[in-house]
Amino acid sequence: MFPVVPFPVSAGSRYPPGATCDAGGANFSLFSRYATDVELLLYERADSPEPFQVIVLDPEVNRTFFFWHVYVEGLRPGVHYTWRVDGPDDTVATGFRFDRGKELLDPWARGVTSRVWDRARASEPGPAGHTSLRAVLVDDPYDWEGDAPLVRPLEQTVIYELHVGGFTRHPSAGTAHPGTFAGVIEKIPYLRSLGVTDVELLPVMAFDEQDVPPGAAQRGLVNYWGYSPHSFYSPHPGYCVTPEEGTHRREFRDLVKALHRAGIGVIVDVVFNHTAEGGADGPTINFKGLANETVYHLDPTDRSRYRDYTACGNTVNCNNPVVTRFLVECLEYWVREMHVDGFRFDLASVLVRGENGEPLWYAPMPWHIEFSHVLAHTQLIAEAWDAGGLYQVGGFPGYRWAEWNGRYRDVIRRFVGGETGLVGEVATRIAGSSDLYAPSGRLPMNSVNFVTAHDGFTLWDLVSYEAKHNEANGEGNHDGVEENLSWNGGVEGETDDPAVNALRRQQAKNFMAILLLSQGVPMLLAGDEVLRTQGGNNNGYCQDNETSWLDWGFLERNAPMLRFVREMVALRRRHPSLMRRRFLSGQRRAGARQPDICWHGLEPFEPPWDDPEAQVLAFTLAGVAEGEEDLYVVMNLSAELQVAVLPEPLSGAWHLAVDTAQPSPGDITGPESQTPLAGGGAYRVQPRSVIVLESRPAVAP
């Protein structure tokens, strides 16, 4: 219980922003340039019905420039707090949205709770009562035990995109704390067994689970993915075991430290393009009530309206100097204090839009990130498009930024699905997309290759459905992309036909094989390795249920696929030639025995570039490390058996490593179990299959 006598207060300091504890109490600092009246409300608990103290700030004492600040003597961690801010009211002309009837969340909060949060009341005009999101005062020294962010070359990375909640929330996960950071820790042995080097966590910065359209809300659905942020400095309370106690940072740090001990890096999915406050009819959470005119893109002819390049109601004005500094400092915080290894930026093209909405090559935001010394060794990955029509794959500003290569995804889906005449572009994508990245001096590592991600079909659904089936989302199946570039093998959805299911499993292996044989950075969607399905739902953003959760029973039911993926990852990691730092040239480099790559068709050195019906492509990839085997790959995505004449290996004999048409375990074989090909002159490549050969001296039996 707190004393009846109020805590004494003094002027406090404008720096650092947010709430900071020391031996004598706590300092609070808040940015609001045009505020006229500011109050700090202190609560004993996350669900306290009333504040135990309301502190009115005096602008003559508690304001410096545009920061409001106060020091509360004797205040200790564990207290919850909000702000109440008033100011001028001229929304159309200025964009101000001050509303003293709404309690506001500290944008710099290190921990937040949602116990009493009511989005509907926060969206209505007038007082909302004490139903806001609340910040919790934290002071949690942490023993990192020597941990530091991993520094791994990007080209050596294999990314595994993972949803913290859905990874362990299914009862079959058998974790002590399902759906939490702690739950993921329990599954680290599984991640290690896969061989992935980094996990890319869907949003873990605190987001509004209540932010869903009316149709979804009526069905009791919630914002599951987390692309509705409100507190960029706080780990999401829903992924914590005891968030009301302010353990957000400790629980997330425990996960990072445990992953690092396993040699696995942590990439955080960042949503800096919009916030949970939505458009004009959205709730007031923090930024709207503090600096709406600064934080958001507003219509210059009517500043009560939001310019929306995100399809989420608002767009963050990233290149306003105040906003740029806030966001860059946030990233530096997650590296410096949370030890993350990199960031993936959702709808990153918003980051290059100037204050008038037009794209800028020298946009301050991405370049500040590129040149920050704190972020110098982090991995930066852009989803290089936005919902306003800006598409920058191959042209995102900066040099060390990698990009989700949507061009790779699309052409590989079409090729594996059986389209003809694509071999030229397929070759370019497999070789690292030099057409996109080489002209600007970038490298193969700038391309993050993927065929599936959280947004869209899972791998099993990609080979099982040609149309989306999103009825469960409550939007009349109008949400989600229409064009999936998928092929179902002749039957829509689940089937008992063994031939169709066998074909689908083979197609899934083809996708995985091609992905892991491509230059650039491969990204796998969690659950694809065990053929997880969402029943054809390609927009599971609101499905916090078994539709989206990983059913760990799939590990046993689809064990052959799991084995195949593990072995393909291992094959990639033992072949430096698949992780080149420079683009393939097709030339023999100084000191090399042969060209770095040679392209073939069914006959050696005769690639079918001019054949509009071609569905077969082959290549030889030269080893680059001492003792590394050369690779020969044939991709036959036609419906017919093809006989590929093998090029002569430079030394030794070809050994079969992969044949996706073979049943497990013959579909992929490690070096210790491989045997040289009999005859060695040709190989019968089954319909819709991928083969990989490794060259090494034949060992006498």
pLDDT digits (tens, 9 = 90+) for 603-621: 999 999 999 999 999 999 9
Quote the CA–CA distance of 687 and 670 in Å, as a whole number: 23
Encoded tokens for 145:
């035990």
Task: Confirm if 35 and 98 have CB atoms less than 8 A apart.
Answer: yes
152 pLDDT above the threshold of 60: yes
If pLDDT is split at 50, 70 and 90, which confidence band does 652 have? confident
If pLDDT is split at 50, 70 and 90, which confidence band does 650 have? confident
Say if strands 689-696 and 631-636 run parallel, antiparallel, or are unpaired: antiparallel
Q: How many CB atoms lie within 10 A of CB 256?
A: 24
Q: How many CB atoms lie within 10 A of CB 543?
A: 22
What are the tens digits of pLDDT across the range 291-326? Answer: 999 999 999 999 999 999 999 999 999 999 999 999
Count, in order, helices (H) and strands (E) of the chain: 17, 30
Q: Which residue has the higher pLDDT, 587 or 48?
A: 48
**Pick from 39, 41, 125, 34: nearest CA to 87:** 34
Quote the CA–CA distance of 620 and 575 in Å, as a whole number: 13
181 pLDDT above the threshold of 70: yes
**Pick from 128, 129, 124, 266: nearest CA to 188:** 266
What are the tens digits of pLDDT across the range 88-137? Answer: 988 999 999 999 999 999 999 999 999 999 999 999 988 999 999 999 99
The amino acid that residue 260 corresponds to is: H
Quote the CA–CA distance of 369 and 295 in Å, as a whole number: 18
**Cβ neighbourhood burial of 281 (10 Å; 0-12, 13-18, 19+):** exposed
If pLDDT is split at 50, 70 and 90, which confidence band does 651 have? confident
Assess if CATH 2.60.40.10 describes domain 9-136: yes
The DSSP 8-state label assigned to residue 425 in this structure reads H
Domain ranges, ordered by start, for the chain: 9-136, 585-696
346 is catalytic: yes
Arithmetic mean of pLDDT over the chain: 96
The predicted model gives 625-645 an average pLDDT of: 96
Would you state the pLDDT for residue 699? 64
701 pLDDT above the threshold of 60: no
Collect all residues with Cβ–Cβ distance below 8 Å to 588 and sequence separation of at least 6. 594, 595, 596
Of these residues, 99, 208, 383, 694, which one is catalytic? 383
Quote the CA–CA distance of 348 and 274 in Å, as a whole number: 11
SS3 label, residue 119: helix
pTM (predicted TM-score): 0.97
Quote the CA–CA distance of 700 and 698 in Å, as a whole number: 6
Beta bridge partners of 265: 198
Would you state the pLDDT for residue 4? 63
Quote the CA–CA distance of 611 and 382 in Å, as a whole number: 35
Would you state the pLDDT for residue 256? 98
The amino acid that residue 134 corresponds to is: R
589 pLDDT above the threshold of 90: no
497 is catalytic: no
Q: How many CB atoms lie within 10 A of CB 471?
A: 12
Whose structure tokens read 């031996």?
23
204 pLDDT above the threshold of 90: yes
Q: Which residue has the higher pLDDT, 678 or 228?
A: 228
- Domain 585-696, what fold? Immunoglobulin-like (2.60.40)
**Pick from 39, 36, 219, 372: nearest CA to 28:** 39
Collect all residues with Cβ–Cβ distance below 8 Å to 160 and sequence separation of at least 6. 191, 194, 196, 198, 199, 200, 523, 524, 526
**Pick from 663, 658, 608, 664: nearest CA to 632:** 658
The DSSP 8-state label assigned to residue 528 in this structure reads G
Q: Which range scores top for mean pLDDT: 285-299, 645-659, 669-683? A: 285-299
Beta bridge partners of 56: 39
Would you state the pLDDT for residue 7? 97
If pLDDT is split at 50, 70 and 90, which confidence band does 680 have? low
What are the tens digits of pLDDT across the range 27-45? Answer: 999 999 999 999 999 999 9
What are the tens digits of pLDDT across the range 495-545? Answer: 999 999 999 999 999 999 999 999 999 999 999 999 999 999 999 999 999
562 pLDDT above the threshold of 60: yes
Calculate the alpha carbon distances from 632 to 138, 577, 688 in Å.
57, 12, 17
**Cβ neighbourhood burial of 625 (10 Å; 0-12, 13-18, 19+):** exposed
Residue 444 has phi, psi (to 5 degrees) of -55, -30
Of these residues, 39, 346, 630, 694, which one is catalytic? 346
2 pLDDT above the threshold of 70: no
**Edge-to-edge, what's the strand order for the sheet holding 689-696?**
597-600, 616-621, 631-636, 689-696, 653-659
Quote the CA–CA distance of 243 and 249 in Å, as a whole number: 9
Quote the CA–CA distance of 156 and 515 in Å, as a whole number: 14
Give the largest CA-CA distance in the chain.
92
Is 585-696 in the same CATH topology as 9-136? yes
